[in-house]
Chains A and B, each alone.
Chain A
């Protein structure tokens, strides 16, 4: 049987109260009676009554005023006014203030019951209406939430951004505080982000979850959410991190796309029993939106990592082609010269023999250098470059390689300007010498004969020494100023006939300088030369 309708009867006539209670209780109502307005209000503040029957003339309060206060407390209450002496004026006033009807004493019981029943019917309609409106509002809220989650997550193709903005939006739209996302990664679930979890829960939550058993694996296998109404009563070892920090209920929602669960959205609240079916419907929808965005981002990531791999592959292939060409060129000369010297049909004079031997020697040097470069690169790649640091003056490092630099710049004007007060730097003299040689070699390669090449050094706030190699050559366009330090990068626009390098020189320089804790960079305006700088920290 349905819950009994509640009726409150207010009258100062105790006999009347007793009689009417008997009658109404017989009709199946639950009846409360009070003799004064004050007691009526006290009771109404605690309980809801479907119907209130009020005597209009009470000793402590005017009946219509009481009516107003009651309606204010319970706008949907069915109030029936009783008037002792026919007073149309009071009755009309009562109706205006929200009474459902009025009756004259002595009461016509049939009439009273029919009025009560009509009132209850009306009240039922009001309640149903209200439910419809709230359902409508709920649906509206779901739509808006989904829309704003979908908008937030669709704005990016960056997986982490999507997860973060989804978490934030879900929290904002649902008022749920502690939410987190795990995404499937092969046979594991990996933690990808949370919003509002208490710091203790956040630090204790597992970064990886097994997908073979436990609540999360169940979530991955089913289409709907899982609710744990009371974490204290549930035996879910994987949720201990929530239980231990006073979360009391949990909902897990699979992130589903095209029938595949790609992760789990988890929600924890401080109270038991906090998830209504309505909540879950919304969360399932949100789960779907997040899954779509996550899958898009994953596909995009896959595509771009595949592209990056392809680019790397192209670079490596080019590098191998360059290296083998570079190796072959001097090898061909060495082989040809040796072969010539062995020709039985030729008798060499001393001068010609020497020429052949010199070219063998020179190209063997080229080969050695190339192999050294490759070894250096492989050491840099393995991060195994050994740097033997000692205190040195930059000017000493330069004077030690001066012969080499002079030889490189025979067709250029080399000017070296290192002030005496440049502080000592702790460096591997040989390696830094290599860097300088390499930079000067590049300067020569990319500038015309008879132009100037400068080497200078400045000290910046006694913290670092900056050494620069400046040329008047073709320069480096802005978009290449980072790229030229990449391994295998080959500068373009070099003059015809110039030796093509391996594309390793600047990458090696960068590796050496970084191993010293410094930086290397280029400043240049194309057509106006380039200034290559590297910094070395001063101890």
Chain B
């Protein structure tokens, strides 16, 4: 197996995809991108990814539905969902389905890197942040390993 941690970034914003790809590649990850949920699921049919970083609100197939499909293909996949909205219903569903982590946009790069490192290292994730989303996520037990 490849030594490098493989990451799939899924977002319908092409510029954001490229930004993440650039940053993560520089950090030594092997990065692939997909522009919606359907494309992400197709990617998983070809290969496994250690970590998937996926937007929730996307055309064709949203992040939560894609997450479910991916779990069917690769049950041990670590999936981090990103969202700009605090759609509690969606988040709750995702948590129930066993999502690794949900983070809110705008994404703090240093935080993202740290989360990815911890996920990749299978370390328990400790989120210490003043950003309200993490508070929201933590309080009702929404973040879990």
Contacts and interface: CB of A to CB of B under 8 A. Distances in A.
B23 A352 contact: yes
B22 A347 contact: no
B23 to A, nearest CB: 6
Contacts of B109: 346-349, 352
B18 A346 contact: no
Nearest to B19: A340
B108 interface: yes
A131 interface: no
Contacts of A348: 109
B116 to A, nearest CB: 13
B108 A343 contact: no
A110 interface: no
A339 B108 CA distance: 16
Contacts of A343: 15-16, 19, 106
Contacts of A339: 15, 18-19
A351 B105 CA distance: 20
A355 interface: yes
Interface string A327-371: 000000000110110011111110110011000000000000000
A346 B16 contact: yes
Nearest to B26: A355
B107 interface: yes
A346 B22 CA distance: 13
Contacts of B105: 345
A184 to B, nearest CB: 65
Most buried by B among A344, A345, A348, A356: A345
Interface string B93-109: 00000000000011111
A356 to B, nearest CB: 8
Interface string B114-143: 000000000000000000000000000000
A347 B106 contact: yes
Which secondary structure dominates chain B's binding surface? helix
Given A339-B19, A340-B19, A340-B22, A347 B108 contact: yes
B99 to A, nearest CB: 19
A346 B13 CA distance: 12
Contacts of A349: 108-110
Nearest to B18: A336
A345 B84 contact: yes
Contacts of B26: 355
Interface in B71-101: 84
Interface in A181-197: none
Interface residues of A, number: 15
Nearest to A344: B106
A345 B57 CA distance: 13
B35 to A, nearest CB: 15
B95 to A, nearest CB: 22
Contact of A345 (B13, B18, B23, B110): B13
A346 B109 CA distance: 7
A345 B107 contact: yes
A351 B108 CA distance: 12
Given A345-B13, A345-B105, A352 B110 contact: yes
Interface in B1-55: 13, 15-16, 18-19, 22-23, 26
A340 B15 contact: yes
A345 B22 contact: no
A177 to B, nearest CB: 83
Most buried by A among B23, B105, B109: B109
A211 to B, nearest CB: 68
A356 B84 CA distance: 24
Most buried by A among B13, B19, B106, B108: B19
A343 to B, nearest CB: 5
B127 to A, nearest CB: 15
A337 B109 CA distance: 14
B104 to A, nearest CB: 10
Nearest to B55: A345
A348 B16 CA distance: 13
Contacts of B107: 345-347
A9 B26 CA distance: 128
Contacts of A355: 23, 26
B108 A345 contact: no
Most buried by B among A339, A340, A351, A356: A340
A130 B110 CA distance: 117
Nearest to B105: A345
A361 to B, nearest CB: 15
Contacts of A346: 16, 19, 106-107, 109
Contacts of B18: 336, 339-340
B74 to A, nearest CB: 26
Interface in A16-68: none
Contacts of B110: 349, 351-352
Contact of B16 (A345, A347, A356): A345
A355 B110 CA distance: 13
A346 B110 CA distance: 10
A349 B107 CA distance: 10
A12 to B, nearest CB: 134
B11 to A, nearest CB: 8
A193 to B, nearest CB: 68
25 contacts: A336-B18, A337-B22, A339-B15, A339-B18, A339-B19, A340-B18, A340-B22, A340-B23, A343-B16, A344-B106, A345-B13, A345-B84, A345-B105, A345-B106, A346-B107, A346-B109, A347-B106, A347-B108, A347-B109, A348-B109, A349-B108, A349-B109, A352-B23, A352-B110, A356-B22
Given A340-B15, A346-B19, A356-B22, 14 more contacts: A336-B22, A339-B15, A339-B18, A343-B16, A345-B105, A346-B106, A346-B109, A347-B108, A347-B109, A349-B108, A349-B109, A349-B110, A351-B110, A352-B23
Q: Which 7 A-B pairs have the closest CB atoms?
A: A349-B110, A340-B19, A347-B108, A345-B105, A352-B109, A347-B106, A345-B106
Interface of B: 13, 15-16, 18-19, 22-23, 26, 84, 105-110
